[in-house]
Amino acid sequence: MARWARPALSAFRPWGPAGWRSLYTEVTDVLGEGHQGPSPGRTDMVATSLWGVKKAPCAVELAVLNSGITGGRRPISFSASASSIFGSGGNSKKEKLLLQDIAELIQARACQRVVVMVGAGISTPSGIPDFRSPRSGLYSNLQQYDLPYPEAIFELTFFSHNPKPFFTLAKELYLRSYRPNVIHYFLRLLHDKGLLLRLYTQNIDGLERVSGIPASKLVEAHGSFASATCTVCRRPFPGKDIWADVTVDRIPRCPVCTGVVKPDIVFFGEALPQRFLMHVVDFPMADLLLILGTSLEVEPFASLSEAVQSSVPRLLINRDLVGPFAWRPRSRDVVQLGDVVHGVERLVELLGWTEELQDLIQQETEKLNRRDR
């Protein structure tokens, strides 16, 4: 999927200053006027810095931005390492942060603009296979679709020639009615508590939406099944309109021009959704970056992990040490390796949210049970 990187970069270039002002308007509509963020003038500067990117294939070089976030927080008492973030510990030496320190910062409302990045690892506990794991990954189990190579199922050229394998896979995923797990509901709880600035997901399963996180808080970087588009006349359709055909093994077609209607999933070689450009505003504003269940291999999504300011803590909860956490760690990085569910549950425990999370899961599970009857 690294082949997405160069098309994504070229997709940014048509966005002149007027486009960036439009993005700024959309962002302020979502965040509200009370949030600090780049002014329309600053978006012109951001656009210039993006077009002048030198570190290919990275699609972001956003460290030049300052968040403009000011104080207004109530007095708090941190552990020695956590207090070093804000220079209140009296010790100039930067101590290594721990998971407990991140929990203390959240509890004290010192981190109120949390940006989250997630990958397939948060959906595998729901039974959805990831792409690359040997034997259990999606790419290892596509022989039944008669593909020249596994990645072809997400390539436009192959889809244009033979869309049936993709829709066969889509039907299989759809009919299994996967449900959110404890990780999704932890992220929902972040939103309910007013702490989630934005959730950036690589997943196309839509479980973030199912968990109750509103679309305004989501950036589905690789698209989703929530909408679809005719590949010929580009007429848009609600995603639900295609499933009547897909579930009976028919290729969904446009009622106007008879072109194949493709879900708005980002295939190899396609530009990322325009909404992905919200990272230009979100990441400079973040005061905590949380990364869950991703290999940080797919560009330009992976490079966002370096787009927050160097003073901002980054927490990785993941099976393996990945990306810049392995080859360019920062002093305020926190890493919780192993099972992602266990890592999230440990953070929830340190936050004192265990009972709240259990209540939310029970409440939402009952809703889904009523829906599926």
Examine the domain organization and report whether 249 and 345 are in the same domain.
Answer: no
Q: Return the SS3 of 323.
A: coil
The pLDDT value given to residue 169: 83
Q: Which residues sit in the known binding site?
A: 230, 233, 254, 257
Is the residue at 52 inside a domain?
no
Per-residue pLDDT of the chain (373 residues; tens, 9 = 90+): 433 433 333 333 333 334 444 454 554 454 444 444 443 333 333 332 332 232 322 322 222 222 333 333 333 344 545 555 544 444 434 568 899 999 999 999 999 999 999 999 999 999 887 665 555 445 555 666 677 887 888 899 999 999 998 998 888 777 677 899 999 999 999 999 999 999 999 999 899 999 999 999 999 999 999 899 999 999 999 999 999 999 999 999 999 999 999 999 999 888 899 999 999 999 999 999 999 999 999 889 999 999 999 999 999 999 999 999 999 999 999 999 999 999 999 999 999 999 999 999 999 999 998 887 7
Count how many domains the chain has: 2
Examine the domain organization and report whether 107 and 240 are in the same domain.
Answer: no
Q: Return the SS3 of 291.
A: strand
Examine the domain organization and report whether 292 and 330 are in the same domain.
Answer: yes
Q: Which residues sit in the known binding site for Zn(2+)?
A: 230, 233, 254, 257
Examine the domain organization and report whether 241 and 347 are in the same domain.
Answer: no
Q: Which tokens hold the place of 86? A: 């804000």
Helix and strand numbers, DSSP H then E, in the chain: 14, 9
What is the extent of the structural domain holding 254? 129-175+223-265
Q: Hey, which residues does 96 pair with through a beta bridge?
A: none
Examine the domain organization and report whether 314 and 202 are in the same domain.
Answer: yes
Q: Hey, which residues does 337 pair with through a beta bridge?
A: 318
Is the residue at 113 inside a domain?
yes
Examine the domain organization and report whether 203 and 346 are in the same domain.
Answer: yes
Examine the domain organization and report whether 121 and 153 are in the same domain.
Answer: no
The pTM of the full predicted model, rounded to 2 decimals, is 0.75
Residue in 184, 222, 279, 342 annotated catalytic: 222
The pLDDT value given to residue 18: 43
222 part of the active site: yes
Last residue of a domain, one of 243, 265, 287: 265
Nearest to 120 by CA among 80, 84, 173, 73: 173
CA–CA distance, 85 with 38 (Å, rounded to integer): 23
Examine the domain organization and report whether 309 and 353 are in the same domain.
Answer: yes
Measured in whole angstroms, the distance separating CA 180 from the mean position of its chain's CA atoms is 15
111 Cβ contact partners less than 8 Å away, ≥ 6 residues apart = 102, 105, 195, 287, 288, 313
Q: Which CATH number belongs to the domain containing residue 150 in this structure?
A: 3.30.1600.10
Nearest to 82 by CA among 334, 306, 291: 334
Examine the domain organization and report whether 295 and 355 are in the same domain.
Answer: yes
Q: Return the SS3 of 227.
A: strand
Examine the domain organization and report whether 309 and 296 are in the same domain.
Answer: yes
Last residue of a domain, one of 238, 265, 292: 265
Examine the domain organization and report whether 311 and 187 are in the same domain.
Answer: yes
Instruction: For residue 105, count other CB atoms closer than 10 A to its CB.
Output: 24
List, as own/partner pairs, every contact residues 76-81 make where C-beta atoms lie below 8 angstroms and the sequence separation is at least 24, other chains included. 76/108, 76/109, 76/110, 77/108, 78/104, 78/105, 78/108, 78/110, 79/104
Instruction: For residue 14, count other CB atoms closer than 10 A to its CB.
Output: 8
Is the residue at 76 inside a domain?
no
